[in-house]
Amino acid sequence: MLSNRRFLIRTTALAPALWGTTYLTTTMFLPEDRPLLAATLRALPAGVLLLLVCRQLPRGEWWWKSWVLGILNIGAFFALLFIAAYRLPGGVAAIVGGIQPLVVALLASRVLHERLTPRIVVAGVTAVFGVGLITLQAQARLDAIGVLAAIGGTLSMASGMVLSKKWGQPAAPLTTTAWQLITGGLTLAVVMLAVEGLPVIPLTPSNLVGYAYLSVVGTAFAYVMWFRGVAGLPASTTAFLGLLSPVAAIILGWVVAGEDFTLMQTAGILMVLGSISAAIVTKNVKPSGINKEPADERGSLPVAPPP
């Protein structure tokens, strides 16, 4: 059981590590000033791809539940994420997500009746200070709208995580992920057409490569791993694993984009990693959140090797 939990933690951690590449991919490969187009082309193709694999549609109340979760976890989150990515320097938008574990832990204590222990609170506060050290050392102009978008995205995803845990999953994670990506992607498409319209300038090969990477690797694969973790781990544990996204983003910004990286930022990263380690240490955690109804065999999740 312990080895299974460790494997689940490692595979879940793949998702935020991959999400940390979103900011660099956006700035290097995607066209400027099209955040809603980027969000739509990231979510909708990924959802269609997964649906072709699982070939299973929602039933009953899961039609409207999938829309709600799709908007919180995908639609609103992706839109705000890309607005932040376009208006903030690489890594800084992800760092705002440092408040998410505390938000999730508080919501989970109220909605899911998970214990809000002093260890979780201390780990959450330490994480906020850690990401604060990273942020304060970033020598770049901070945009107010970008910061608000990053905060809004964090709150949206935190609410979606807790609600996903409360409602459980009526099918395999691959299947429920497909539903959320399609409902969120369709919602984004409507908003994109109303606000941005269709692109006037044709997409370049570089743009297409960026969109393909974000859709297939950063979304289809990453979200299957993520929602499997949401189903099988405590909500607060999954939320702390999400802090790997800003760590990956800031390291990539330093290695690839040549952004500043100081000793203070190193200390901040160590604080974040320490808070994750402290938060995921637990005893006899029983997986929860998955309904007992067996999933369609075609929607079963392929086993991925630990990173």
pLDDT in tens, 170-200: 999 999 999 999 999 999 999 999 989 988 8
- Can you list the residues of the chain whose pLDDT is less than 50? 138, 283-307
DSSP 8-state class, residue 296: P
Per-residue pLDDT, 176: 95
CA distance 261 to 231: 36
Per-residue pLDDT, 289: 44
Residue 293: Cβ within 10 Å count:
9
pTM: 0.81
Query: How many Å from the N-terminal Cα to the C-terminal Cα in the chain?
Result: 19
3-state secondary structure of 169: strand
The two structure tokens encoding residue 233 = 């781990």
Q: Which of 115, 112, 98, 109 is nearest to 155 (CA)?
A: 98
Per-residue pLDDT, 2: 61
